[in-house]
Chains A and B, each alone.
Chain A
Amino acid sequence: MLELLGNHTVQTVTLGAVLLGMVSGLLGSFAVLRQQSLLGDTLAHAALPGVCIGFLIAGTRHLGWIMAGALVTAVIAALFVQVVTRYSRIKMDAGLGAALSVSFAVGVVLLTYIQGHASASQGGLDSFLFGQAAATRPSDLWFMGGVTLAAMALVALMWKQLKLVTFDPLFAGSIGLRVGVLETLLTAMIALAVVVGLQMVGVVLMTAMVIAPPVAARQWVSRLEHMVFLAMLMGVISGVGGVLLSAGVAHLATGPVVVLVASALVTLSLLLAPGRGVLWSWLKLWREQRSIGQRQMLVTLHKLAEHHEDPYYPVERSMLDSFYGVATSHILRRLQARGFVVPASHMRQEGPHWALTDAGHNEARQELERMDWNQAEV
């Protein structure tokens, strides 16, 4: 796979993927935390009519015009959603959905019009639907790099404002921040990021680049700055991984492979991340259930011994089984391993008996104290 990196096209595409991963991870973090994941999707689909209009104005497949057109229609769609949700009863999700489908419909109509009327060789606009990474040219990298740099500068300079508006917009407004202006600025930057990714990943899949890296990153961190950094890293990994995978295996479309790598990162993070991962919570639940059984058993034996005024009072296991309604031998064996109970030979004809050790009594007393304390706190 390393010899691939010697290839000029692959170099360009890889660098493009790095930039795309950085900018979408950075801005996607704020979109996801503001619960506007769908925003990226709407912006991407709304860019399609702009792509077509840019083509019609320029008369050829001129990237500058196409990008400018895409940006303009994406921003118009975003403003439409903002205005509609503020001044009508339509909720955010419905507004985003409406803007998405209407603008995508307009885009496809324009696309078919161009393909029917413009000279066929000039077409190829449908590559914007699913992306065509190989079409990335070195000159495009300047545009992508500029956008990435601008986004990073914006976030670095206005870090505390963006953080506050994302976490607590009401409080942000109460200390005089222009919440609407900041939200519009963020949306415009996300639109820029989407436009950057159009050529590479395409209209349909671009939203995954905005959502997946931040969602994966969120699983592993507990601070916003770490989340943003990790999301950028995950974006870069997905971008570069996708490019190299698709270039290594002939005839695979780059955009979808990039998205698949990003989705794999999300799946892994959802499963494995400590603290928040699914496997982690299963493990925690299982441990807690096990320890609760043991703690209960200690307290029961302790109380029985107290009741019989014999600290080493041997208790028959079958009695414990019927008291708990489940088999208790595995609990007792684990307690024995921890040195809290010992098997006691009481009467040989009868079943196995168990008695609490001194350490076991200590542990039980501590457990009782903890319970009292918890009750007092509530």
Chain B
Amino acid sequence: MKREKRHEPDLALHIEDLTVAYEGKPVLWDIDVNIPPGVMAAVIGPNGAGKSTLIKTVLGLVKPTAGHICIHGYPPRQALKRVAYVPQRSSVDWDFPTTVVDVVMMGRYGHLGWFRWPGRRERRRAMDALSAVGMEAFAKRQINQLSGGQQQRVFLARAMVQDADVLFLDEPMAGVDATTEKAVVALLQELRDQGKTIIVVHHDLQTVRDYFDWLVILNVRVVAQGPIPEVYTGENLRKAYGGRIALLDPDSSGETPDAVPREVVN
């Protein structure tokens, strides 16, 4: 196989001219996204803005119509071990017959050879990750006994054992309790401080400024992207959400408004 030259190696995620369409309808239209390494970035936008599709395309789960993607300068197929993924909790059947530690070990499958079974080393890694998310007492539990917040912690532990440089999380705060949300954010910030890049599809506009330091506002096209103070403005949010947003302080030059989305985001 021909080794391609690295393209934009200084960016954790580089997306150029990307268009994705389902059944002829564009979900993402000609977008460029650049996220530097070591930031914790939120991807926000109204329902149907293409947030999940963006992540799925980067991970190779959805085929783009046009454009290219680089992760630390490599095309996604060559960067599989550099990325970790936390899908939406609701995308799996939690009645599947398996245990908590088993699910976390799945994060090591990509590093194992094709026919190798996970062994003691994988189990130890999984247990370490479980104690980092405060779930070591649940290691041997059946996964159908977990609450929503616990499910999310298990998924986060699985992503942690992947040893990735870039973590993609799809709505990790959806439907979890306040304690878990705080714990998840603290863990993600710790990972960022270790130099990893965290990219989160987020739905709660009110917490964007508290949790993140980088922002991508999406609505089929990229409305704005960059460091939070520059991008989180009333004007940008209004551009993305249109009339579906109520800005609590709409005047005062529109800087750092408290925004409450009027639509129900799930």
Contact residues of A with B, CB < 8 Å?
33, 35, 157-161, 163-164, 166-168, 170-171, 173-176, 218, 221-224, 226-227, 378
Listed residue (B109, B117, B142, B158) with the most chain A CB atoms within 10 angstroms of its CB:
B109
A377: shortest Cβ distance to chain B, in Å? Answer: 8
A160 near B112 (CB under 8 angstroms)?
Answer: yes
Which residues of A have CB within 8 Å of B93? 33, 35, 167
Top 3 closest A-B pairs, CB basis? A175-B110, A174-B85, A176-B80
Contact residues of B with A, CB < 8 Å?
56, 59-61, 77, 80, 83, 85, 87, 91-93, 96-99, 102-103, 106, 109-110, 112, 114-115, 117-118, 142, 158, 162, 177
Q: Offer 30 A-B interface pairs, CB within 8 angstroms, sorted by A.
A: A33-B96, A160-B106, A160-B109, A160-B112, A161-B109, A161-B114, A164-B106, A168-B92, A170-B61, A170-B85, A170-B91, A171-B87, A173-B61, A174-B60, A174-B61, A174-B83, A175-B85, A175-B110, A175-B162, A176-B60, A176-B77, A222-B97, A222-B98, A222-B99, A222-B142, A223-B97, A223-B98, A224-B96, A224-B98, A226-B97
B94: shortest Cβ distance to chain A, in Å? Answer: 10
| New A-B pairs, 20, CB < 8 Å, besides A157-B115, A226-B97 | A159-B117, A164-B109, A167-B92, A167-B93, A167-B106, A168-B87, A170-B61, A171-B106, A173-B60, A173-B61, A174-B60, A174-B83, A174-B85, A174-B87, A175-B80, A222-B98, A222-B99, A223-B97, A223-B102, A224-B96
- Knowing A159-B117, A160-B112, A174-B60, say if A223 contacts B87 (CB, 8 Å): no
Which residues of B have CB within 8 Å of A163? 98, 106
The complex places the Cα of A275 from the Cα of B117 at a distance, in Å, of: 29
The complex places the Cα of A226 from the Cα of B98 at a distance, in Å, of: 10
Which residues of B have CB within 8 Å of A224? 96-98
B111: shortest Cβ distance to chain A, in Å? Answer: 9
The complex places the Cα of A163 from the Cα of B105 at a distance, in Å, of: 12
A35: shortest Cβ distance to chain B, in Å? Answer: 7
Which residues of B have CB within 8 Å of A159? 117
The complex places the Cα of A27 from the Cα of B61 at a distance, in Å, of: 26
Which residues of B have CB within 8 Å of A168? 87, 91-92, 106
- Knowing A35-B93, A171-B87, say if A176 contacts B98 (CB, 8 Å): no
Which residues of A have CB within 8 Å of B92? 167-168
B96 near A175 (CB under 8 angstroms)?
Answer: no
B116: shortest Cβ distance to chain A, in Å? Answer: 8
> CB-nearest residue of chain B relative to A218?
B97
The complex places the Cα of A222 from the Cα of B110 at a distance, in Å, of: 24
B97 near A173 (CB under 8 angstroms)?
Answer: no
B83 near A160 (CB under 8 angstroms)?
Answer: no
A46: shortest Cβ distance to chain B, in Å? Answer: 26
A251: shortest Cβ distance to chain B, in Å? Answer: 40
The complex places the Cα of A164 from the Cα of B60 at a distance, in Å, of: 17
Which residues of B have CB within 8 Å of A160? 106, 109, 112, 117-118
A176 near B110 (CB under 8 angstroms)?
Answer: yes
A253: shortest Cβ distance to chain B, in Å? Answer: 34
- Knowing A35-B93, A167-B93, A223-B98, say if A174 contacts B106 (CB, 8 Å): no
The complex places the Cα of A137 from the Cα of B61 at a distance, in Å, of: 47
Question: When the two chains form the complex, which single residue of A157, A176, A221 contacts B97, counting CB atoms closer than 8 Å?
Answer: A221
The complex places the Cα of A227 from the Cα of B96 at a distance, in Å, of: 10
The complex places the Cα of A159 from the Cα of B114 at a distance, in Å, of: 10
> CB-nearest residue of chain A relative to B62?
A173
A137: shortest Cβ distance to chain B, in Å? Answer: 36
B59 near A174 (CB under 8 angstroms)?
Answer: yes
Which residues of A have CB within 8 Å of B103? 167
A171 near B85 (CB under 8 angstroms)?
Answer: yes
Which residues of B have CB within 8 Å of A222? 97-99, 142
B27: shortest Cβ distance to chain A, in Å? Answer: 16
B25: shortest Cβ distance to chain A, in Å? Answer: 12
The complex places the Cα of A378 from the Cα of B147 at a distance, in Å, of: 12
The complex places the Cα of A221 from the Cα of B96 at a distance, in Å, of: 11
The complex places the Cα of A167 from the Cα of B92 at a distance, in Å, of: 6
The complex places the Cα of A147 from the Cα of B162 at a distance, in Å, of: 36
Which residues of B have CB within 8 Å of A218? 97
The complex places the Cα of A378 from the Cα of B158 at a distance, in Å, of: 25
Which residues of A have CB within 8 Å of B87? 168, 170-171, 174
Listed residue (A159, A175, A222, A227) with the most chain B CB atoms within 10 angstroms of its CB:
A175
B104: shortest Cβ distance to chain A, in Å? Answer: 12
A116: shortest Cβ distance to chain B, in Å? Answer: 45
A20: shortest Cβ distance to chain B, in Å? Answer: 23
The complex places the Cα of A170 from the Cα of B90 at a distance, in Å, of: 11
B60: shortest Cβ distance to chain A, in Å? Answer: 7
Which residues of A have CB within 8 Å of B142? 222
